[in-house]
Structure formats: structure tokens, C-alpha cells
């Protein structure tokens, strides 16, 4: 496990576009000014200003920019510009050896989940589920989201509070905190992406009907390695579901089938309020306290 150095005032933050195209570069300018006002320097990837259909550039260029940002020793943290789609297409073009030799903060969510999990799997580098430049900092960012981002990346974190817990099945579990956007994780099936040890599966999605959530979980649980190693489930935002009762029934049944703790209410996903937290660290989940303790 590689834990990146914390952010310090005066460090350079790299804003990286590696997925969907940036439709309004003024939002990137807004994010850049916010980071600068917080005491940081900022570098922008060339792909902020390019476009190829629904992507910010072709696969080779997007992978090159990611590799270049990790190789750049002046950049101390890489913040994804946005998600959308495109990460899956460059996973085989990433220089994981270079990343392992140049560990630094890498942060994002949504489609960026694919990059985060494959970087962790291939290098051991702890990444961060965190707000993004275009999608969050480029607009009227929520104060909770902003404070969580800077507090975690500057000071570290020892525990995570599940603010509005709903316990489907209680208990205590330990393992690697691992996960992200559910549909993106499902898209990794066929690759070697699952942790080798016990893991606490933290996941979210948006505008997905319950039957699709069922299908995605079922596909993952059909992987023997996944089912053997999952130690608990923590749910973030699943706004836009079509039937809340069916959603709750599915996860209640899942908790009984797997005989593991299942809890919802963590603030992460596609809503305005987002908790920044690391992916790939060892944690203990206690559903009675509604807390995740980093070990």
C-alpha cells in the first residue's frame, strides 16, 4: 500500500481531463481560481481544450496526459476534471510502473472510478473518492464538500461518519475500503480488478432502476473472488431510483444472503454534498456507531 503525501500550501494541483469532453472551459477557470485562492498553484492538462466526439481527446492522448501528470514532479495532486465516459478505454495504456515510482494524490469519482481502482490494483497507491474540478469546483460548490476535500487531503482522516445511517444488517467488519460508482465497477468485469484481501464495498450510482442495481450486484457477486472477499457493503447516494421499497428489500435480502453488515447513508455520489475519503486503506466498519475507522 502506497499512501501519497498530504497537500501543503504552495503545492501544485494538476487538473486532468481524461474522460468526457469539457463543454465549458469557464468552469475549469473557476476551479483554478478557487484552488489558487486556497494557496495552491495549478496546472491544466492539454485535454481541457480538445475534443473528440464525446471524449476530450483520443485514447492515446488521454493516457499520455495522465502518465505525463504522474511523471511531472512539480505536481503533487491530480484532480480529475470530470467523469462521463472514457476511462475504460485507456486502462491498458496507463504506465502503472511510472505511477508506482511517482505516487501522488489522485482524486475523482463517477467514471474516474475505473482509473482509481485499476491504479490501486496495479500499484497499491491509495486514491481518493473526491469532488472534481469541472463537475464540482467549477460551479457553486457546497461548503461541506469543499471543507471535506481540503481537510482530508491536507490533514488526513482517521474516521468517516455515515451521516444518515440506515442499517440493513448490523455488525462490525474490517477490510480494505474499496469501491466507487457501481456501473463503472461493473464495466471492469473481465479485468483483474478485485482486491486480493477482504474489502468493504462502498458504492453509489444515479438514475438507475432497481432491477439494474440488482443486475450489477449480481454480476459482481457471480465472480467467485468478489463474493469470497466482500466483508460489508456501504451505500452512498442512489438518487433517481424508481422504487425505494424495492431498493430497500433488495439490500435487506442481500445482507441476509451474504451474512455481512450492510449500511447506507454515506455522503458520496453525484449529489452536491460529497465526503472525500481514501480508497485502498484498511478500515473497520461499526454499524452501531455509524462510523468507519481507518486503521
Q: What is the set of active-site residues?
A: 110, 204, 270
Among candidates 221, 168, 178, 220, which has minimal Cα distance to 199? 178
Are 18 and 46 in contact by the 8 Å Cβ rule? The answer is: no
Distance set, CA 231 to CA 114, 117, 178, 200 (Å): 21, 18, 11, 5
Cα 41–chain centre separation = 23
Which residue reads 466498519 in cell numbers?
Answer: 285
What's the CA gap between 284 and 129, in Å, rounded? Answer: 18
Residue 200 DSSP code = E
Pull the grid cell for residue 79: 484532480
What's the CA gap between 227 and 137, in Å, rounded? Answer: 36
What's the CA gap between 127 and 29, in Å, rounded? Answer: 24
Cα 150–chain centre separation = 16
Amino acid at each position: 500500500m502506497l499512501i501519497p503525501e498530504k497537500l501543503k500550501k504552495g503545492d501544485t494541483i494538476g487538473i486532468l481531463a481524461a474522460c468526457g469532453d469539457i463543454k465549458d472551459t469557464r468552469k475549469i477557470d473557476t476551479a483554478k481560481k478557487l484552488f489558487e485562492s486556497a494557496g495552491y498553484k495549478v496546472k491544466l492538462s492539454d485535454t481541457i481544450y480538445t475534443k473528440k466526439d464525446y471524449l476530450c481527446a483520443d485514447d492515446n492522448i488521454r493516457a499520455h496526459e495522465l502518465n505525463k501528470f504522474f511523471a511531472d514532479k512539480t505536481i503533487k495532486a491530480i484532480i480529475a476534471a470530470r467523469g462521463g465516459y472514457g476511462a475504460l478505454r485507456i486502462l491498458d495504456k496507463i504506465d502503472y510502473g511510472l505511477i508506482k515510482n511517482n505516487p501522488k494524490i489522485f482524486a475523482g469519482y463517477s467514471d474516474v472510478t475505473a482509473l482509481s481502482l485499476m491504479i490501486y490494483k496495479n500499484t497499491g497507491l491509495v486514491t481518493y473518492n473526491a469532488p472534481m474540478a469541472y463537475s464540482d469546483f467549477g460551479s457553486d460548490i457546497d461548503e461541506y464538500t469543499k471543507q471535506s476535500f481540503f481537510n482530508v487531503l491536507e490533514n488526513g482522516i482517521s474516521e468517516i461518519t455515515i451521516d444518515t445511517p440506515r442499517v440493513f444488517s448490523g455488525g462490525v467488519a474490517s477490510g480494505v475500503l474499496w469501491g466507487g460508482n457501481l456501473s463503472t465497477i461493473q464495466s471492469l468485469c473481465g479485468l483483474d480488478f478485485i482486491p486480493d484481501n477482504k474489502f468493504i464495498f462502498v458504492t453509489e450510482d444515479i438514475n438507475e432502476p432497481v432491477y439494474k442495481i440488482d443486475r450489477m450486484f449480481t454480476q459482481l457477486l457471480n465472480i467467485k473472488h468478489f463474493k469470497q472477499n466482500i466483508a460489508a457493503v456501504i451505500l452512498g447516494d442512489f438518487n433517481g431510483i424508481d422504487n425505494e421499497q424495492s431498493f430497500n428489500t433488495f439490500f435487506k435480502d442481500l445482507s441476509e444472503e451474504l451474512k455481512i453488515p450492510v449500511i447506507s447513508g454515506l455522503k458520496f455520489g453525484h449529489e452536491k454534498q460529497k465526503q472525500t475519503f481514501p480508497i485502498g486503506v484498511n478500515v473497520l466498519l461499526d454499524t452501531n456507531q455509524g462510523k468507519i475507522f481507518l486503521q
